[in-house]
A and B are shown apart, each in its own frame.
Chain A
């Protein structure tokens, strides 16, 4: 079976001459949960925008679900690849949540009952059923981000690309957002999200792709990538605090540690205190 997403020697040069992607080769299978990290300007967003045709390869090929994106219109690609902008306010333009979420299906010229069903389903998935008649601009930033996700979900895309889902949010809203994305991944969506939040990456992503200066620097499981502390440093990224702490005693913690819970579990085991782990969340 063809991968869900495949880039072969993908280059992008912006009209101003900036060479943003230098021959990306990557393959992502259906159902994966991938975080894309890297400095601002490293090519993360440029790469993702090729998946639904918002940007076109200036060299190389992008295939989605086995078919080349080529010159297929964004409106067609949007049924397969949903893209949520970094700032939900760049995307939201209707005066009610309902209209915003219905906008895509209306443009697909679906039947009114089908549109209604998709909006109800999408709002339920993001937990905003009670807000369908609200003006999106009266909602909190975390809620507006959910509206943006619902507006993409109503198109029934196989792939969800979410650009910085936690930026500008407090910790709780950030975790809620990632839990929602996790749930959508478990429901079968292939998920790519761009972020600078390393603890969130460690907690949620299964695979990590690190961009630097238009190239892929590292690509592997979250554990594998966070082992490469020295390589990550070259692009000013750093694993979570707890990963650093465990590395200081790597004779005791031979496997990369990604969360406080893992670290506690392994420490209790070392200290033969297994029975105590039950009390720690």
Chain B
């Protein structure tokens, strides 16, 4: 099957930049994949998203080498309108992208601008609200919503465009823990139940390893590590040198196994507390801890 996103030898330098913001990036995303992107500030994460949704080169110019294709369309030579039918972006601050007073107006805004017929808009609106589980917020004023609710409205407004890919730029950094869970749960469901590809930039490694099919770690404009979550976690010293922290249960379990001289195979690295529990239990009982 063809990739929904294909990035080949991408190097990009902003017009006023002194060095490239992205260097020789190669990456493929299959339809329906969940991809996490992380890395320190200034690593090129937002720039990479901008090269995929077309903000680069259509709004921000610069020196772009290599190609980016989305659903077979070359981003650089396609219109922004055509791209908007395939890929939508959610930003860090939901207030930044809201244009309407009420939730239903916001979610209908995209299709209205495409001239979608009225009955069809109603159908898309209902479905988008349902998929993000905010049907009950339909008539609410956006200004009265919590951060997690607002971000789900932003995702809903993109869903009404029937995209194949949703890009998200650190959508939970300003949310409280419950808001963060709401957003990741909604994304996971959209991904699993409706096959929408998700590419999310986040600093929240616990959520990324739990939800992603592949994780890309950017550092100084290059891909530093790229692979399935367990593979990425196995390179924790490289991650640490880039200022990226693996989840606590990974750090603990790997350190303990190393100290015991029993390195853990990559496929056994725990990604959640639930996965770490039996591993620790085994060590405690094997080593007769406390005389059990």
Contacts and interface: CB of A to CB of B under 8 A. Distances in A.
Contact of B244 (A38, A168, A171, A241): A171
A264 B256 contact: yes
27 contacts: A38-B176, A39-B176, A39-B178, A141-B41, A170-B39, A170-B40, A170-B244, A171-B243, A171-B244, A172-B243, A196-B175, A196-B176, A196-B177, A236-B176, A236-B178, A236-B181, A241-B276, A242-B248, A242-B249, A245-B273, A249-B281, A264-B252, A264-B256, A267-B256, A270-B287, A271-B283, A279-B259
B178 A245 contact: no
Interface string B167-182: 0001001111111010
Contacts of A252: 284, 289-290
Contacts of A140: 41-42
Given A40-B179, A264-B252, A270-B290, A280 B146 contact: no
B112 to A, nearest CB: 31
Nearest to A246: B280
A168 B41 CA distance: 9
B12 to A, nearest CB: 20
B32 interface: no
B92 A40 contact: no
Contacts of A173: 40-41
A236 B203 CA distance: 20
A55 B135 CA distance: 36
Contacts of A168: 92, 170, 173-174
A173 B39 CA distance: 12
Nearest to A141: B41
A130 interface: no
- Residue from A140, A236, A264, A267 having most chain B Cβ neighbours under 10 A: A267
Contacts of B247: 241
A245 B177 contact: no
B277 interface: yes
Nearest to B43: A170
B124 interface: no
A141 B46 CA distance: 14
A251 B276 CA distance: 17
Interface residues of B, number: 40
Interface string A158-187: 000000000111111100000000000000
Nearest to A276: B259
Interface of B: 39-42, 92, 146-147, 170, 173-179, 181, 203, 206, 243-245, 247-249, 251-252, 255-256, 259-260, 273, 276-277, 280-281, 283-284, 287, 289-290
B289 A245 contact: no
Given A167-B174, A242-B248, A248-B280, 11 more contacts: A39-B177, A140-B41, A170-B41, A170-B244, A241-B206, A248-B277, A248-B281, A249-B281, A252-B289, A267-B280, A271-B289
A131 B145 CA distance: 39
Contact size range, A: 35 or more
A270 B290 CA distance: 6
Q: Is the interface of B mostly helix, strand, loop or mixed?
A: helix
Given A142-B41, A268-B259, A245 B277 contact: yes
A125 interface: no
Contacts of B179: 40
A40 B42 contact: no
B280 A245 contact: yes
Interface in A219-258: 236-238, 240-242, 244-245, 248-249, 251-252
A260 interface: yes
Contacts of A242: 248-249, 252
A188 interface: no
A172 B175 CA distance: 20
B167 to A, nearest CB: 18
Contacts of B251: 260
Contacts of A270: 284, 287, 289-290
A77 B127 CA distance: 52
Contacts of A245: 248-249, 252, 273, 276-277, 280
A81 to B, nearest CB: 24
Interface in A184-228: 196, 198-199
Given A241-B248, A264-B252, A271-B289, A169 B177 contact: no
